[in-house]
Structures are given as C-alpha cells and as structure tokens.
Amino acid sequence: MTSSHPPSGPHGCCFGYSVNSPLPFRLLRAGHGPQLHIVEAEREPRPTSPPVLEWKVPGDDLLHVRLHRDDDSYALWIDGGGWFRVRPEVPCIEVPVGVEPLRREERIWGLPSLLCLLERGDVPLHAAAVEIDGGALLLGGPGRCGKTTLAAAFLSAGFRVLSEDVSCCRLGDPPQLFPGPAGLRVRLDAFEQLTIEGGVVAAKESHRVHLDIVPERRGSADPVPIRAILILGASEAADCTMTRVPSAAAVRALWPLSFNLPTDEDRARCFTAITEIVRAIPVFDLARPVSYNTLPRVVGELVQAFGR
C-alpha cells in the first residue's frame, strides 16, 4: 500500500488519549487527555512464552495475530504490521520500524490501543459509532455486516463519525464513548458505488480505500454520551425494523463484540462490563435493507429514531 504524504501538524487525541510521539499521525482529533506514548521499538520483542491468544482475523486479508504476555507488557504480532510491544500500565506502545505510516497508525488503533483501554477500565466493542444530536449511536455486528458502509453514509449526510471499528465505551452516568481514529476503511466496491462527502482518499488497495475524515468534520476528542447500541442485520423489506433486545439476549449479542483474554480474571471483567453496559444502554436489533441506494433512507430513519 502506498499513501499520500501525511499531513503535518500538532498531535491530537484518540480514544481519550493525547498522543505523545515523534512519529507522524493523520487520524487524530483535537483535544486533551492522559498521554499515550508511541515510539519506534529499539528492538523487536522476543517472546519466550507461547501466545496467550492466537487467531486469524477474517476479512479481505486473513491476518494472523499472536498475543504474548511478558510480565507487565504484551508482545503482539500482526501480519503485515510486525511486532508491537504494549505496556498498558504506562501506557506506551512500541511500534515496528519501517512500516508504512498509515498502515502503522491503523494497526496502533486496533489491538495495541485496545489493550491500553482495557487497562484503564474502559470497554472496547467491535462497533462503528456516529453522533446524532450530541448522542453516540453504536453500529455493531460481525465482520462484513456493513458497519463501515453505514458509517460512511452518515458522514456523507453531514453527521460525525466517532469510530469505524473499535468503539471505546466508558461506563458511568451517563455512559460515554471516546471518539476513535478519524478515518474509514471502505471496501472498494462500496467506495465505487457511493459518493462519500467528508472523506479524502489517503490510500487505495486492491480491495479497500482508506479515507481520512477531513479536519472540519472530525470534531473534538471529547467523550459523547451513548444513546443506544444497534446490532446490524439484513432485511428483505423496504423499511427498517428496530426491535429492542431483552437484556439477557443483549449480553449474548454484545459478548462476541467484546474482547477478553482467556483468563478467569479477564473473562469476569468482560462479563461484568457487558452486563453493566446492557443495564445502562438500550440495545436494538436493526433489520434494514442492505443496498447502496437505501443507505440515505436508513440514515434518515435512524436520525428520526435517535435524534432529539
């Protein structure tokens, strides 16, 4: 992947962290927060223990990911990204040397930063999020269910995209979402069908287009109250159908969107977090027509349902 020259300028924030780094970043938002240190690694991690987690991330590219635990840090291998070392308690992320900057940044805002979010007690969910009238609406679902495409449609309609892949939720009264990276990775077929206002092409791959959200559409990194979580599904009908999910079923729906390590402590943490989310935030099944030309109508229906 080749990308255009990244914009220069002061660093900003992502997921509530203020980025402290000598490296260039292009997906940040204005704001303040506790510092997240991001540096190039002086040497690659050499884990001596077997991975605590190992999996292949499905998608257009099948990524092999391995996560090792070493005392107070994690060593993380990501295909196409290299080795990362994450020290969540600091917090600090060491990144591999020589990786193309946009790909590196996109990887940083995935699992490496997610480990830091967990350490500080937040609840990351595999969901996009958009802002409607000052409230965050999460768009959750399995891979390729159309989260990013729907988020892109919101962007085109003039709404703010708060996150594309990982939504950082903080429990409280009210529960809040910390905006994530200001970018969208749109499938090539979706990009060719849609006119995405508010995004500029940063890079193109054979199957995907990487968009930077233009600065004037990013907004600040301040947290946004969460209004609802939608679990995206498909419908043959012309209109959307939204059904409130009962709490126990909502836990079941959100569990696959959450992240936990295979330890008793972490599974318990995740379980507690998900049930607290369900107690505080309404969860809906959204069955909607899945076609490019119905996207504006879907956006309109959701704005009507969740706007003030």
Partner 1 sequence: MIAPRTVLRRSPRALYRDLAEGEGGVLLHLDTAAYHGINAVGALVWSMLDGVTFSALLEKLRSELQGVPPTFEHEIGEFVENLAARDLVVLEFDAGGDDQ
* Residue 48 CB coordination number (10 Å): 8
Whole-angstrom Cα distance, residue 109 to residue 53? Answer: 19
Q: Is 249 in the site for partner 1 (CB under 8 A)?
A: yes
Q: Which x/- pattern, by CB under 8 A, does the window 195-234 give for partner 1?
A: ----------------------------------------
Stretch that binds partner 1, among 34-42, 147-155, 214-222, 249-257 (CB under 8 A): 249-257
Q: Is 259 in the site for partner 1 (CB under 8 A)?
A: no
Among 59, 248, 291, 300, binds partner 1 (CB under 8 A): 248
Whole-angstrom Cα distance, residue 190 to residue 177? Answer: 27
The two three-digit tokens of residue 270, written as one number? 């995740």
By CB under 8 A, what part of segment 272-301 binds partner 1? Answer: 272, 275, 278-279
Q: Is 244 in the site for partner 1 (CB under 8 A)?
A: no
Whole-angstrom Cα distance, residue 251 to residue 130? Answer: 22
The residue (of 159 and 284) whose beta carbon lies closer to partner 1 is 284
Whole-angstrom Cα distance, residue 135 to residue 116? Answer: 25
Whole-angstrom Cα distance, residue 128 to residue 226? Answer: 12
The residue (of 42 and 264) whose beta carbon lies closer to partner 1 is 264
Binding residues for partner 1, rule CB under 8 A, total 15
Helices marked H in the chain: 101-108, 111-119, 147-156, 188-193, 247-254, 264-280, 295-306
Question: Where do we find the tokens 């159309």?
Answer: 146
Question: What's at 252, amino acid-wise?
Answer: R
Among 246, 296, 300, 307, binds partner 1 (CB under 8 A): 246
Query: Minimum distance from CB of 248 to partner 1 (Å)?
Result: 3
- Which residues make up the interface to partner 1 (CB under 8 A)? 246-249, 251-252, 255, 264, 267-268, 271-272, 275, 278-279
